[in-house]
Every structure is written in structure tokens, then in C-alpha cells.
A and B are shown apart, each in its own frame.
Chain A
Amino acid sequence: MSAQERRKKRLDRSVKVRSEGLYSLSSWREMAYLLAPRLLLIGGLLAAPFVLDLYWQKVLCAAGIIAVLAMGFDFLAAYVGLVCLGGAMFIGFGGYAAGLLNAKLGLPPVLTIPLAAVIGACLSTVILMPCLRLRGVYFAIVTFMLPLFATHIIIALELFGSTEGITGLDILANHWWEQYVIVISLLAALFGLRRLVTEDVGLIMMGIKDNDQAVLAAGISIFRYRVLAVFIAALAGCFVGAYQAHLYGWLGLSLFAMDFSILPIAATVMGGMGTLSGPVIGALILTPLSEALRGFGQLRVVLYCLILLLFILYKPEGLMNYLERKYHQFERWEKV
């Protein structure tokens, strides 16, 4: 059994150990080790508008929207234990709120986008509140249904332009604005959420996911924290929804499209659950990928699904978990 006498040993890189805690400030090397991956993402996103042509700039905006939704999905699923398929609802509420504020009240985008984010998030949270006691698949079903529900109400009551939607909304000033609004809000959401989950609030939320009865026993109201978590995720989702309405200068039923519920999940699966940065990377890969595959016509969806399938089969942990491990650890054969 010669093959069995050796074992691959996985060890943390010494620089990783050295850069934990305050000691990371001890030398440039350690700081560079910590900062390099973060700066790579920040720098890459900030520089992207300069290197991309007009078409791919639009793709970047679309990818950013999916990325924020994916982060919200990941946050709710991996840190709070609520599987939320309500991406379409967030986009729809945010988009309609912003569009109506703009079309009916004539407010400029700089006001409508933040206002719509808050209004949409409040609305989503209030609607989801009775469902927060549901867990697992039930919550998922309810959140999946609500966008369909909203669509049919709008059609049936002929609200807000019904199936036509409302066109001619104000669009953002120029393509720099378009891109930097989404890029900066994406980065803010990413680093904000990453901070949040390491704060006390985040610890409680993870506790709720792990064992809600133990959290109750510690004298903490689960309900309040779930409401808070849903509000945070909805805020991010509605923000990009509002942004999208002003990006295309148009609101309509396609804001409630299932794509906004499904694509973020695909991005999260690809990027790695529970990493927050993984879903961003997943979205930044998947959205351009689906554009690049346009040349294949009808085969596009097939190829897209195939790539996802291969990912689930061969790298189910997700890109980010894999990269993180390679970055922080090394392996060597060791005699047992």
C-alpha cells in the first residue's frame, strides 16, 4: 500500500499567519498580502469603464445589478438562513418606485434612486414580514411568487402604464455616471456587508441560521433580526432596481422578470456560497459570458447551462472558496 503511506498536508502560508490581527501592520509584505486581492477587485472595477467599449460598458452595468442582487441572496441564504428568491421583487419595487417618483413628481434621479431604495425596501420588508416565520423552501416559494403576484396586479388593475410601462424617464447624465454609480454602490455593498457579518449583528444572524432555538434562549428576538436582514438585502436590491429604471429610462413589467431571481443564484453557486465576494465574481463572469455567447444564437442558453452544470459538478464549493484556499494555504506530501 505504498500509495497510502503518503498524505497531502494542507498548511497555512506563513505570511497568512503573520498577517492575522494587528501584526499585519508590521511590514509592507504582510500588508500587500492582505490588500492585493482587495485592491485587485476595487482597482479592476474602477478601471473597467476606461478600458471597455460602449457595448461592454452596458454589460458591466447589467453585471453590477446582478452582482448586488447575488450578494443580497448570499447574505440572506448563507448568513441568515433565508433562501430568498425575491430578486425580481426587489428590482421591481425599486424600479417602479423610482420611475413613479420621477414621472409623476418630477424628482431627479439623484433623489429618486435613494428614495426608491428606501421605499421599496420598506415595502418588501412589510410584505415579507408575515412570511418570516417560514423557513427553507416555504420562504423561497413565497418570495418567488410575489413578483408574479405584483405583475398580475399591475396588469389586472391597469396600474402604472399596465403592460406598456412608462417610458421617457430621466436617464443618468452620461455613461461615466451610469457605470460609477453601480461600481461604487457594488463595492460599498460588498465591503459593508462583509463588515456587517463580522459585527455582533452578523454573529446573531449566523446564530439564527445555525440554531434559532439557542438564539431565542439567549433572549434575542429572532424576528427582529430577520426583519433587519431582509431590509438590508431589500435595500441593496431596490437600489439597483431604481438604478436600472434610470439606466434604461423606462419601467415596465420586465422589471419583475424571473431572471433577476435566478441569475443571482447562478452567480452565487459559481462564486461560492457564504463568501459575499464570490457572488460578485460569479456575476461579473456569468453576465459577460452570457453576452459573449450571443453569437451562438439559440445554443446560448444550452452552453450557459452547461457551464453552470460543469461548475456544480466539478467545483461545487465555488470559485471564491477555491481561490481563497489556494491563496492562503499550500499543500505538500507528507509521510504518515
Chain B
Amino acid sequence: MSLLEVINLMVFYENAVAINNVNLSCGKGLITGVFGANSAGKTTLMFTVSGMILDTARKEKMRGGIRITVMGDILFEGRSIMDVEPSRRAHLGIVLCPERRRIFKESTVIENLKIGGIIATKAQARTTLEYVFRIFPALVKLRKREAGFLSGGEQQMLAIGRALMAQPKFLLLDEPLLGLSPVMEEILINAISDVRRAIGLTTMISEQYARPVFPIIDYGYVLENGGVVVEGPAHDLMENPDVKSAYFGLQEE
């Protein structure tokens, strides 16, 4: 039984197709990987599932800018959420950890986490806060530090922590490894798989470069120009020669 199902999704930015007839489903308790180069439509997919695109569309309309059209259907726990506001989707449990982190720069680490946990109950927030500090021990020392002055890796930990504070049932991680060192990548990947083990959280991760994420995903999709070109269980994808050369940096001999 899949937690989230995307059916024939199409997203247009004015006349340009950003997402072209995408079908995907994310199984409960699994980590789904979405891979693709720039302009493949990963971020748009994340924005559409989390509902942020509704907000962008509204702002563009107010500005007289481009028109964003979304078609198709997204089912969450079997119910269509196409018309659900982004804030309501967060209440339903769909939480986005956006690309480039977007933390609250002028708040401290602990304040960032508290803001993330506003929709949680007090008890939930307390346990999750402890849990976040357990998987990211580096944040403990920095709790009073202003978030804008953290390093890239620390900010990414904070962003994931903040997303976890909202008690997600379905976590969207948009390029969580963007611009991070291999060591930091490993810390984050370990944390993400720890989350899955500990609370069985369903996750969707998008990345350009698949190798660091690959060990922890269960099912993967490869996007190209807005459409799914290859999909399959992790090990099947690994075998695929095209995927290998394009997203793992391995050359076929």
C-alpha cells in the first residue's frame, strides 16, 4: 500500500512543461529516490507534492507573471490532496525540507527547531527535539547560535531537524546533500536512514548525483526533462547501464 501516489501529473510554467505525465508512488515506510540533472523537474515535483506550487502560482498571478498550471492528481493515504493548501498538507503530514535549506537565518538553532514543531503537541515536540539532537549531536553545542552563521552542513542538519519537528508522515528532502563534503554527506545519509529505522518514516529524496544516496533508498525514479525515464527497485536501477553512467559517474568499459 503506497502512502503517496502521483498520477499523470503535469506542471506547466506558462507554456513550458516542467513535469510531464509523471506517475510515481511511494510505499509506506520506504525511502524513494528521485534522480535527475538540473531542469529534470525534481524541485518542481517536490513543490507540487508539498503544495508550495499553489503559493508560487498565486504570487505569480498577483504579480502578473507567468501562469502555473498543475494537472493530474496526487493521492495521500488514498485521498486527493490537489486542492489542499500547503499549510494543511503539513498538518496532514507532508513536510518539505526545501532545497538550499531555507532556514530562518535570524533565529537561533533552537528557535528554528521550535518553529518547525509548532504544529506538534508539546510532548511530541520534546521527544522529537531530543531525537534530533541525538542524530545530529553537532547541533547541541550550537543551540544558541544564530542559524544564518552556521556552516552549510550544520544548516542542512538544522533544516532536516526542523522538518522532523513537524511530525511528518511523509518527508520530502529536496537535494539534502547540495554542496556538502563527503564526510558531511555520510553523516546526513546515516541520519536519514536512522530516521527510517527508528520511526519508520516514509521519505522522498531528490538528488542529482545518486551514489551517496543509493545505499539507503528502496525504490528509485530517474527524471529527465520532466518525465520519468527509468524506474525500479534500487538494485535494478544500479544494474541499468544508462543510469550507471549518468548518475553514478561510472564508465561502461
Contacts and interface: CB of A to CB of B under 8 A. Distances in A.
Given A10-B14, A10-B15, A317 B64 contact: yes
Contacts of A10: 14-15, 67
A316 B64 CA distance: 8
A318 B14 contact: no
A4 B71 contact: yes
A16 interface: no
Nearest to A316: B62
A235 B170 CA distance: 56
A7 B71 contact: yes
B15 A336 contact: no
Contacts of B12: 7
Contacts of B14: 10
B69 A321 contact: no
Given A318-B64, A321-B64, A11 B71 contact: no
A317 B10 contact: no
Interface string B1-31: 0000000001010110000000000000000
A322 B62 CA distance: 11
> Do most interface residues of chain A lie in helix, strand or loop, or is the interface mixed?
mixed
The number of chain B residues touching the other chain, given as a range, is: 10 to 19
A67 B6 CA distance: 51
A86 interface: no
Contacts of A8: 67, 69
Contacts of A7: 12, 69, 71
B141 interface: no
B64 A325 contact: yes
A336 B71 contact: yes
A9 interface: yes
A92 interface: no
In the complex, which range does the number of interface residues on chain A fall in? Answer: 10 to 19
A317 B67 contact: no
B172 to A, nearest CB: 24
Given A4-B71, A336-B71, A11 B64 contact: no
A2 to B, nearest CB: 12
Contacts of B197: none
B63 interface: yes
A99 interface: no
Contacts of B63: 316-317, 321
B71 A272 contact: no
B64 A322 contact: yes
Contacts of A9: 15
Nearest to A329: B14
B222 to A, nearest CB: 23
Nearest to A3: B71
Contacts of B71: 4, 7, 336
Nearest to B62: A316
A8 B12 CA distance: 11
Contacts of B69: 7-8
Contacts of A11: 15
Nearest to A275: B64
Interface string A302-321: 00000000000000111001
A295 B14 CA distance: 45
Contacts of A322: 64
A8 B66 CA distance: 12
Contact of A317 (B15, B62, B72): B62
Given A10-B15, A316-B62, A336 B67 contact: no
26 contacts: A4-B71, A4-B72, A7-B12, A7-B69, A7-B71, A8-B67, A8-B69, A9-B15, A10-B14, A10-B15, A10-B67, A11-B15, A272-B64, A316-B62, A316-B63, A317-B61, A317-B62, A317-B63, A317-B64, A318-B64, A321-B63, A321-B64, A322-B64, A325-B64, A336-B10, A336-B71
Given A4-B72, A316-B63, 9 more contacts: A7-B69, A8-B69, A10-B14, A316-B62, A317-B61, A317-B62, A317-B63, A317-B64, A336-B10
Interface of A: 4, 7-11, 272, 316-318, 321-322, 325, 336
Interface of B: 10, 12, 14-15, 61-64, 67, 69, 71-72
